[in-house]
Amino acid sequence: MRTLFSLLYPLYSNNKFNLCIPIVLLFMTAISGIALLGISGWLLTGAYIVDIGAMFNLFMPSALIRILSLTKVVFRYIEKLTGHAAIFKLLSDLRGFVFGSMIKLNPKELSKYHNGDLVSRITSDIDILDVVFLLFLEPFIVVIILFFLFYLFFYCFMPINSLVMVLISCFAVVVIPFLLIRSTKNNGMYIQEYSSNMRGFILEMIDSHIDITIMQLQDAKNREFSYICSGMSKYRSNQSIASATGQYFLSIVSGIGIVIIIYLEIGYFEKNKIEAPLLIGILLASFGFFEMFSSIVKGSACLGSAIKGADRISAIIDTKNSIKDIDDPVNLPSHGDIVYDNVSFSYINSITNENSTVLHNVNLKINIGEHVAIVGPSGSGKSTLLSLLLRMDEVSDGYITFGGNDIRKCKQSDLHSRIAFLSHDPDIFLGTLRSNIIIGNQLASDDLIFETLKLVNLHDFIRNLPLGLDTFITETGSNLSIGQARRLCLARALISPASVLVLDEPTSGLDRVLEQDFFIDLRQAAGKKRSVIMATHANVFHFHDIKTYKLNDGVLFDN
């Protein structure tokens, strides 16, 4: 609960004005509704017990009833509009904030979350938070204000009734919601977990659809998905049952309250302290007040999910980035030699929590414009060696320098602007060919783009497309061949001002001919100005301008 409010408090205080409007409007709606019931009760009773129209002025109250009916509808309508607008703004601020926190984390921290979990956190976990304001906080504030008004009224005119009002309100606003929140907290946690699993499962299915089809796993996956769905529906129905039970107890408590109020009011009536029309009017107005409790109870049943949602969101926001810039970073030169000096690196095994050393005292120097390939068996530490240069992890021992500067002493953004990276799995983003290429250089003109495309042998292919650079590509690049997707990503790296290209298995998935073509293009495109360091399984020994090193069990040998 504390996490929920500490997450929402800054957002609420930044949107104070926007949130106050629906609260005021809900208060006006409630007052109109309560006054409508009260005046109707008073009018009908008065009209019934007095000789028709003789001593009872019908005009004023009936006009008031019409006005109140209209104002209630109008206030309710505007309250819904402003309430939802305020909540959408709040949720959009929160989504932006969470996404901002998430994107700042390094891949190591992000990799703790399983597929789809982050999407779930940023969508359903945040969506559930609107419950807190619309179904809980807003009616709660209005009920508290109304409670004081009723209490004051009863205290002045019927003191015993004020005690009944306090007891009923305590049950409805404190005891029932408290019990509901307690009993549905775990259930809410399961709802959020299942919703996250469902998203993860769907994303995984889309990703591995070809494998699932070939391995004929459709039925098994269908069953798995049905299992997740039935779990979800079980916990959702638990939530509905809890909400209905809460409403049931609320009706009983309100009913008992009304009976006691009638009993006490009859006492006042018998002592001639109150007239019948006023008695009925007060009774119906109390009914109207008690109706307000209903939304608090409904909101309390969903609060468990909101609490869990807030916990899951806070887990992202509170994640500390293990790799930080120092306070007074050095400026890196645009070009520079890269030196690995006695670099060792260990991963902490997440299961056994033990250190496993992957790189042992690696010494490597890459001069400006030099092309270097690291070859070695799978698992020997090639990707790890590259990721240390990009500072995706910190070296455990030794140091890496760029242009003579320890890369831990410069800004990460500075380092990443000097180094362009091409991973073994080309990252194509949803958009056009142009938008995918200029990620490396937002200011690149079409001439520069085509010059770069020439270097990677994509120039003719793209020129011949009907929409050219404006051709739309999917986020998996599925409308490009693997070779084309890889060349496109290489063009993105080449068009950037980076002086170093880091490539991790740049030719994986390409056949031998395409692989060799890729290296020929790469050497020409990178030229003598850019240094290249790549990890590869491909045969590059015959390229005499590529210096190769062999990595075996984390030990680097000059080839």
Contact letters (x/-) for ligand ATP, 524-543, by CB under 6 A? -----------x--------
Among residues 360, 358, 357, which one has the least CA distance to residue 343? 360
In whole angstroms, how close is the CB of 102 to ligand ATP at the nearest point? 19
Contact with ligand ATP (CB under 6 A) among 381, 426, 440, 506: 381
3-class DSSP state of 273 = coil
Size of the site for ligand ATP (CB under 6 A): 11
Q: Report the residue number, 356 or 367, with the smaller CB distance to ligand ATP.
A: 356
Residue type at 492 in one-letter notation: R
Contact with ligand ATP (CB under 6 A) among 255, 379, 497, 527: 379
Asked if 506 is part of the footprint of ligand ATP (rule: CB under 6 A), the reply reads no
For residue 86, give every residue at least 6 positions away whose Cβ sits within 8 Å of its Cβ, in sequence order, or none: 15, 18, 19, 21, 22, 133
Q: Report the residue number, 235 or 421, with the smaller CB distance to ligand ATP.
A: 421
In whole angstroms, how close is the CB of 380 to ligand ATP at the nearest point? 4
Distance (Å, whole) CA 496 – CA 440: 4
What does DSSP say about strands 472-473 and 431-432: parallel, antiparallel, or unpaired? antiparallel
In whole angstroms, how close is the CB of 424 to ligand ATP at the nearest point? 7
In whole angstroms, how close is the CB of 376 to ligand ATP at the nearest point? 6
In whole angstroms, how close is the CB of 349 to ligand ATP at the nearest point? 6
Burial class of residue 333 (count of CB atoms within 10 Å of its CB; 0-12, 13-18, 19+):
middle
Contact letters (x/-) for ligand ATP, 87-126, by CB under 6 A? ----------------------------------------
Distance (Å, whole) CA 229 – CA 474: 29
Q: Quick one: tokens of 357?
A: 């050393």
Residue type at 80 in one-letter notation: K
In whole angstroms, how close is the CB of 111 to ligand ATP at the nearest point? 7
In whole angstroms, how close is the CB of 538 to ligand ATP at the nearest point? 11
Q: Report the residue number, 382 or 492, with the smaller CB distance to ligand ATP.
A: 382
Contact letters (x/-) for ligand ATP, 346-365, by CB under 6 A? -x----------x-------
Distance (Å, whole) CA 134 – CA 140: 10
Contact with ligand ATP (CB under 6 A) among 378, 413, 442, 464: 378
Q: Report the residue number, 292 or 534, with the smaller CB distance to ligand ATP.
A: 534
Distance (Å, whole) CA 179 – CA 175: 6
In whole angstroms, how close is the CB of 318 to ligand ATP at the nearest point? 21
Asked if 380 is part of the footprint of ligand ATP (rule: CB under 6 A), the reply reads yes
In whole angstroms, how close is the CB of 381 to ligand ATP at the nearest point? 4
Q: Report the residue number, 121 or 382, with the smaller CB distance to ligand ATP.
A: 382
For residue 353, give every residue at least 6 positions away whose Cβ sits within 8 Å of its Cβ, in sequence order, or none: none
Asked if 382 is part of the footprint of ligand ATP (rule: CB under 6 A), the reply reads yes
Contact with ligand ATP (CB under 6 A) among 40, 184, 239, 383: 383
User: Are 61 and 277 spatial neighbours (Cβ–Cβ below 8 Å)?
Assistant: no
In whole angstroms, how close is the CB of 352 to ligand ATP at the nearest point? 11
| Interface region with ligand ATP, contact rule CB under 6 A, candidates 154-162, 201-209, 237-245, 374-382 | 374-382
> Which single residue is written with the structure tokens 């209005």?
142
Q: Quick one: tokens of 493?
A: 């790296």
Burial 413-426 (b: 16+ CB within 10 A, else e): ebbeebbbbbbbeb
| Interface region with ligand ATP, contact rule CB under 6 A, candidates 24-32, 180-188, 377-385, 520-528 | 377-385
Q: What does the angle CA 534 – CA 539 – CA 540 come to, to the nearest 5 degrees?
A: 55
Rule CB under 6 A: which of 181-200 touch ligand ATP?
A: none
Asked if 413 is part of the footprint of ligand ATP (rule: CB under 6 A), the reply reads no
Distance (Å, whole) CA 84 – CA 81: 5
For residue 89, give every residue at least 6 positions away whose Cβ sits within 8 Å of its Cβ, in sequence order, or none: 15, 18
Q: Report the residue number, 225 or 347, with the smaller CB distance to ligand ATP.
A: 347
Q: 274 vs 17, 158, 264, 265, CA distance in Å? A: 42, 10, 11, 8
In whole angstroms, how close is the CB of 382 to ligand ATP at the nearest point? 4
User: Are 123 and 283 spatial neighbours (Cβ–Cβ below 8 Å)?
Assistant: no
Q: Report the residue number, 150 or 345, with the smaller CB distance to ligand ATP.
A: 345
Binding site for ligand ATP (CB under 6 A): 347, 358, 376, 378-384, 535
